[in-house]
Structure 1
């Protein structure tokens, strides 16, 4: 059975599409990125309310967040590949509709199990939105504007992350926990209408009956990722026999996935792609950077409340400085990438992040909030610059027929980093601080945990710098 492939537009058609409504297109893709990021962060603040509403433990309520993240992680590569086969525009529209319907289902859920299932469905839609927004930038915009567009998408992701806790808290106080899910539904409808109107219609070249899709590979990859995610998050990262068994299961599923990929005619991931230096470096550095950024979200609340004595709202305001700095620097970062080249700016961004991490590791507790804010303001613009540069470098090398796959692989690397940061780095902090998150640890112990954890984060970024400076053709 032969597969259907996307028939690239002729130069005249491409120019017409790019001139048609690039700003409206970018607005729709940006809204998709914002909503998917908002869906990740807005539910965290609602966990205490959910635990109370459903008479559930914290670990049970935590699955409301975990189900969303797992859905995104396991589906990123699959939806990217599927978009390459059946058309990214139509799949993105379906993803937006799925996300919106999932938001409504979450708000109407009558039990915790139903809410978790609805969150998984919402996460599936978010996986499509996050993955294909990156891929469609290359289809809908001129090549010399891709860096700026990637910077804007990074800004929207940061805005969604920053907006989630504050918006969620305000909505819960005013309308109850259901509103934190229902509030995204109208914006999902707006995103759907913008995408429907602005995205150019793709022409599918017919070379057979229906496209082939590697379902076995998709299931094995999903099994590997779910097992890894569960191993890294079960019992809040405390490693035990069950965690070891899950890691072994993840390793076996990964091995089987690799064997399937070299045998099937239309693999989900062409393993030969990992021989490409720029893609390999981009994926590895993306995972390391995501691990460090999640560290700030995991460690920050404990340090600000237990070591610096802030209340929850004060800690939230200080932590919001990071995403706000990322949002403000996202578009300028994209312009720098367009002007000076992706590889050079990727290196600069990683260097700034490393400096910020080591500042975290060296700042004495006595400096107070300033000792936390300064490293954060150094680290987060570096993150914005790295994201714009790395995404641009990787996506520029991807041909039209595999942009969905490559963007899915980027999303996979990022989410693996987020899971690792939330679990492994959280465990490092707890071990170094001698706390499980309760208020029994002294301020000095918590500060020690911060210093040790960010010392490790800085070492990881030095590793990322070494990877980024390895072999590969520079981007002009």
Structure 2
């Protein structure tokens, strides 16, 4: 009796094109944000402004990204993912050129807002484009590989930013991004098909959009600038108040709107909720660890910007592998179990970094930590796509990404405030170590609580 070998379905040319377009676009977005962190002093010097003012290049970008994720994801579902992806990629490419040519800080900040708006359209729609282009048995692998490539941009950001800042100048960060994002646009034009939520009318909930954008913009701005203005400053408190009021109006609107921007029935899915919470905590740890490691390498260990970026290369490899590893694990473990594994690795890694003073110990621990943190935030986006219908993939992705970015910004703001408070008493060295230990403990605790909640609420779920 003969045997027949069953092979996995081969990826078509169109699927390959979709994958390349989405992956390259996400790579550019991640590289952009993490590279520019090291360029702030250079921007301040060249544009003859203060470092605090130059920080607006980061705050403006986060403001646009944070408040438009939900809108961008749902626009793709309603109007078509192809046109929204093309619009976002085109905006990002054009704004990159604008940033590179900016003659003043004001022009640079405006260009960064446009760039952030493009990124807010690209990110959730890229996820839903992959979800709809790949069938169930290959979808997790495609999403994992896409986020693996995006994670390379995240991890290489400090290296690229440091190299350009110490070399030809910070403008070359944007000159690199412009052709890469333009290439992504050309590939998308050729290969990305259109898809949308056919069950929903072509009607956008404009009052809901206005309410959620206002709430998230106020919250993001308050968190981003609170440490500079003062947390008890009237301006900061007013923004938090606006965020609460607008957020309340958004909830009321979505509960009564016949075609809401966000269907709150999504949150009745315990599996979706747990993965979103665990992924958000992991992303907070990711942002905090990259930020602290950059400061620690330069201020405590005395490395230059480019040498500090070089230290990130080994973790970059592990971060890049975390996407495919997560996809492989998804076929063998429940999603919350994968997230718990990521939390265990990340939490122990962050705590280990606070004790790693010799290089032979620091680099392996940093690499171990990068695996857990990369796996955590990457797999959150992969897993949530597995528990919602492809028609509403953009909506789910927008909600998850909003949670990831918002908590990441809150985490960075908390770290900045903690550094300001602790450094005069303990010095930067001990302040960074203490924050890493607290962050690792938070991740381990949240992981344990999430597993307990899964056992109590959804014993047969993810």
Whole-Å separation in 2 of the counterparts to 1:129 and 1:43:
19
Is 2:232 the counterpart of 1:240? yes
TM-score by length of 2: 0.89
Contact 1:159 1:327 in 2 (8 A): yes
What is the aligned partner in structure 2 of residue 26 from structure 1?
19
Question: CA shift at 1:293, angstroms?
Answer: 1.0
Structure 1 residue aligned with 2:210: 219
- Indicate how the Cα distance of structure 1 residues 400 and 262 shifts in structure 2: closer, same or farther if over 3 A, else same: same
Alignment partner for residue 65 of structure 1, among 44, 47, 58?
A: 58
CA distance in 2, matches of 1:102, 1:398: 33
CA distance in structure 2 between the partners assigned to 1:155 and 1:291 by the alignment: 18
Distance 1:424 1:207 in 2: 40
2:103 is matched with 110
User: Aligned equivalents of 1:132 and 1:314: distance in 2?
Assistant: 35
Shift of 1:47: 1.2
Task: Tell me the residue number matched to 2:137.
Answer: 144
In structure 2, the partner of 1:257 is: 250
Tell me, in whole angstroms, the C-alpha distance in 1 between the residues paired with 2:223 and 2:113.
Answer: 18
- What is the correspondence of 1:72-91 to structure 2 with a 5 Å cutoff? 72-91=65-84
State yes or no: 1:378 paired with 2:368. Answer: yes
CA distance in 2 between counterparts of 1:306 and 1:168 reads 17
Q: Identify the residue that residue 5 of structure 2 maps to in structure 1.
A: none
| Mapped partners of 1:212, 1:147: distance in 2 | 31
Of the structure 1 ranges 345-354 and 448-457, higher mean CA displacement relative to structure 2 is found in 448-457
Q: 1:379 to 1:464 in 2, by over 3 A?
A: farther
Q: How much has 1:172 moved relative to structure 2?
A: 4.2
5+ residue gaps, structure 1, are: 1-15
Q: Paired residues, what number? A: 452
The alpha carbon displacement at 1:67 in A equals 1.3
- Cα pair 1:308 1:443 within 8 Å, conserved: no
Alignment of 1:359-438 (within 5 A): 359-360=352-353, 363=355, 367-434=357-424
C-alpha deviations, 1:353-405, integer Å up to 9, x for none?
A: 222233345x2x6x433443343222221233334543232112221321110
How far has the Cα of 1:135 moved from its partner? Answer: 0.9
Contact kept, 8 Å, 2:285 with 2:439, in 1: the verdict is no
- The CA deviation string for residues 306-335 of structure 1, in whole angstroms up to 9 with x for no partner, is 444444444333344333321133323322
Taking the aligned partners of 1:121 and 1:401, their CA distance within structure 2 comes to 28
Superposed CA offset, 1:12-36 (max 9, x none)? xxxx997452222211111011011
Distance 1:433 1:38 in 2: 29
Query: Residue 306 of structure 1 contacts residue 446 of structure 1 at CA under 8 Å; is this kept in 2?
Result: no
CA-to-aligned-CA distance 1:407-433 (integer Å, 9 cap, x gap): 111110110121012111332344344
Residues 216 and 380 of structure 1, relative CA distance in 2, 3 Å threshold? same
Taking the aligned partners of 2:304 and 2:449, their CA distance within structure 1 comes to: 36
Q: Residue by residue, what CA displacement relative to the aligned partner does 1:98-138 show, whole Å, maximum 9, x if unpaired? A: 11111112122222111111111111111111111111111
CA distance in 1, matches of 2:197, 2:246: 33
Aligned to 1:198: 191
- The aligned residue for residue 7 of structure 1 is none
1:176 aligns with 2:169: yes
1:301 aligns with 2:294: yes
Equivalent residue for 1:330, pick from 323, 335, 338: 323
Q: What displacement does 1:83 show?
A: 0.7
Q: If the length of structure 1 is used for normalisation, what is the TM-score? A: 0.86
> Once superposed, what is the RMSD of the aligned Cα atoms?
2.8
Segments of 4+ moved more than 6 angstroms? none
Whether the 8 Å CA contact 1:223–1:250 is kept in 2: the answer is yes
Pair 203,217 (structure 1): closer, same or farther in 2 beyond 3 Å: closer
Deviation at 1:267, TM superposition (A): 1.2
Offset from partner CA, 1:259-283 (integer Å, 9 cap, x none):
1111222211112221211122222
Quick one: distance in 2 between partners of 1:114 and 1:191?
25
Structure 2 Cα separation of the partners of residues 207 and 88 of structure 1: 14
Measured after TM superposition, the shift of residue 452 of structure 1 is 4.1
